[in-house]
Structure 1
Amino acid sequence: MFYDLNVPWSDNSRELQRTIAFLDELGYDTVALAHTLTGRLPADLLIWPPQTPPIPSPLPFPTSRRLRILRRCNISLTDAATNHRIPQLQKHYDIVAARPTDEKTLAQACTNLDVDLISLDLTQRFEKHFKFPMLGAAITRGVKIELCYSQALLSSDPNAKRNLIGNATQLIRVSRGRGLVFSSEAKSVLGIRAPSDVINLASVWGLGHERGKDGLTKEPRAVVEFARLKRTSFKGVVDVIYGGEKAVEEKETGKKATNAQKRKAASMESTPVSLSEQEKPASKRQQKRNKKAQEESEKEKADE
């Protein structure tokens, strides 16, 4: 199964419908529609979502039944002191992703924030190089690093393309190819590529073919399942599945079978059995033996 976990939500339903239909045609199985929150998080998250949610359910246009649609929230991290309401968003979105804007917020997202994904704007030039201890802390916690490729395809700024390629190769080298997720972040059909093209692009950036395929299948699936467990299970560790109804049905079926056997045994004991039913007919071999013994006895009597 191929995943694209970053398709920006747009009020232009026609263009968004074309994008989702083209992703389905290219062979993607799961698509996440992303809504972005900038600045300070709203104080009314406890009564969120409002009457008109950003991403309605169901969508205002038809989609393929085969395609799985998820809802994602992108949080632009500008101040490390205003991110304490992030866990409340997990109740309303399938995926919560953080987009750091500087070195301080990146370090906070990798070490402390309870998010599912870290998405970086690779078109900008970072002041410092990425370091493995910081990214390794996020990967150890189960938080993946997202690389979006459509910015290199649709941007008309050569510096943005140069920065994206340089940051992507540096991320692949520093992370040692682990915990990377490839998404499109495509706002139109022109920014989407088939899974095989994305794998080849990752190979050009220095990632192997197998790791590139994992960035579209295994790693994003881990993000989705880990986020689901955090919402439905106890502290993201224990998931209780109720199966009592099936056990009760099996127990009742066993009781019915036992009662039927008891009734059958009681009826057999109460019914008298005739002698003819008790005596079983002799087999053909036994009949031959009896006949031979009878002839021998008659022959002995004739000799006497």
Structure 2
Amino acid sequence: METDLGYADLNIPVARTSDAGLRSLIKRALELGYQTVALNTVVDQENLMTKKKKQKAGELNKLSEFPEPTIVELNPEDYPHLHSRGLKPKILTRLTIMISDNDFLIHYNKSEIVKNYDLLAIIPKTAQCLISLLKSSFRFDILSYTPDLIYSGVKWQRKLYNECIEKFIHFELMYVPAIVDREDRRKTIGLSHSYQSIGKSKKIFFSSSATKPIELRSPSDVSNLAFIFGMNENQGKDAVKKHCLDIYKAALGRKLGVYRVRVEKIQGEPVEESGSDSDGMETD
């Protein structure tokens, strides 16, 4: 298990970026000082219609299964700064599902592909959708919102916020929409201050959602956004490092399931066998 992911950007979209563009985004992120990035695949529940709904609506089923995770292989020449320090970048895969109700669980529970993703994020379109999901046995790692859903989504209350925290869910704030568009900036700042007033900005992390290398910012610049988002300096630093590691650990626990003891071999030292203790034992 990784104990240090370094600075992380857990939202590099793959659907809107070509292969060459995606590689350029990853290389730029590593140049800026990130050690971990997550390649984010977004799926809308509306594209996972059941056969019954398809026949009833007369629409084409765009996705019969969740897409495979995007894998990108890098050479040491692609990350010279990390390579000079004897480090390697960690490229995670993330699945984000935009949901309107719990019907998506039919596809999710039957899918083997979703098990190949490292992180799982949910974008609920309504408050009732999120409440119903929290009452189920379904577990996920990240709760996110696109700017157009911030005001039409969940009206936050302290009880609901704390319930998410108890289930090891982290809240995502994307900074690129706040840079690119004035209206999106207003919505993102409003959401962040809502998190601060309701939950003291607990379990918040920052990500980019960048589609162009020029949109990426260094970890220090991103952590300084905490002052705009109603957070303090330490919370800003945790939002680009510590909480990202917490998300990764929570995801490992979610995939592993319920357990009491985990045994992991960390060294290859031979185990000495001692049979002399049983030689002198007397039996009745």
| TM-score (normalised: structure 2) | 0.75
Is the counterpart of residue 2 in structure 1 residue 7 in structure 2? yes
Deviation at 1:185, TM superposition (A): 0.9
- Structure 1, residues 112-134: CA drift from partner, whole Å, max 9, x if none? 43111111123444246321111
Name the counterpart of 1:26: 32
Return the structure number with greater relative CO, CA threshold 8 A, min gap 6. Answer: 2
Letter in 2 for 1:170: S
CA distance in 2, matches of 1:63, 1:78: 40
8 Å CA contact retained: 1:146, 1:182: yes
Name the counterpart of 2:201: 177
8 Å CA contact retained: 2:139, 2:254: no
CA distance in 2, matches of 1:245, 1:6: 36
Structure 1 stretch displaced more, 203-212 or 164-173 = 164-173
Unaligned runs of 5+ in 1: 256-304
Deviation at 1:49, TM superposition (A): 7.5
Name the counterpart of 2:280: none
Deviation at 1:85, TM superposition (A): 4.5
CA distance in 2, matches of 1:110, 1:197: 34
Name the counterpart of 2:178: 152
CA distance in 2, matches of 1:188, 1:108: 36
Q: How does 1:150-299 map to 2 (within 5 A)?
A: 150-155=176-181, 158-231=182-255, 233-235=256-258, 237-242=260-265, 246=269, 249-251=270-272
Name the counterpart of 2:54: none
What secondary structure is seen at the aligned counterpart in 1 of 2:151?
coil
Deviation at 1:172, TM superposition (A): 2.4
CA distance in 2, matches of 1:243, 1:61: 26
What secondary structure is seen at the aligned counterpart in 2 of 1:251?
coil
Unaligned runs of 5+ in 2: 1-5, 51-63, 276-284
8 Å CA contact retained: 2:189, 2:228: no
8 Å CA contact retained: 1:38, 1:75: yes
Pick one of 130, 136, 140 that aligns with 1:115: 140
Does the C-alpha gap of structure 1 residues 99 and 251 become closer, same or farther in structure 2, counting only changes over 3 Å? same
Deviation at 1:192, TM superposition (A): 1.2
What secondary structure is seen at the aligned counterpart in 1 of 2:116?
coil
What secondary structure is seen at the aligned counterpart in 2 of 1:228?
helix
What secondary structure is seen at the aligned counterpart in 2 of 1:28?
coil
Count of aligned residue pairs for this structure pair: 245
8 Å CA contact retained: 2:127, 2:155: no
Letter in 1 for 2:70: I
Pick one of 77, 102, 106 that aligns with 2:130: 106
Letter in 1 for 2:94: R
Pick one of 166, 173, 184 that aligns with 1:140: 166
Does the C-alpha gap of structure 1 residues 34 and 243 become closer, same or farther in structure 2, counting only changes over 3 Å? closer
CA distance in 1, matches of 2:65, 2:185: 38
CA distance in 1, matches of 2:184, 2:66: 35
Is the counterpart of residue 13 in structure 1 residue 19 in structure 2? yes
Structure 1 stretch displaced more, 3-12 or 205-214 = 3-12
Deviation at 1:229, TM superposition (A): 2.7
Pick one of 131, 146, 156 that aligns with 1:130: 156
Aligned residues with identical type, % of pairs: 25
Name the counterpart of 1:70: 92
Kindly report the root-mean-square deviation, in angstroms, between the aligned alpha carbons of the 2 structures: 3.1
Does the C-alpha gap of structure 1 residues 75 and 236 become closer, same or farther in structure 2, counting only changes over 3 Å? farther
8 Å CA contact retained: 1:123, 1:161: no
CA distance in 2, matches of 1:99, 1:68: 25
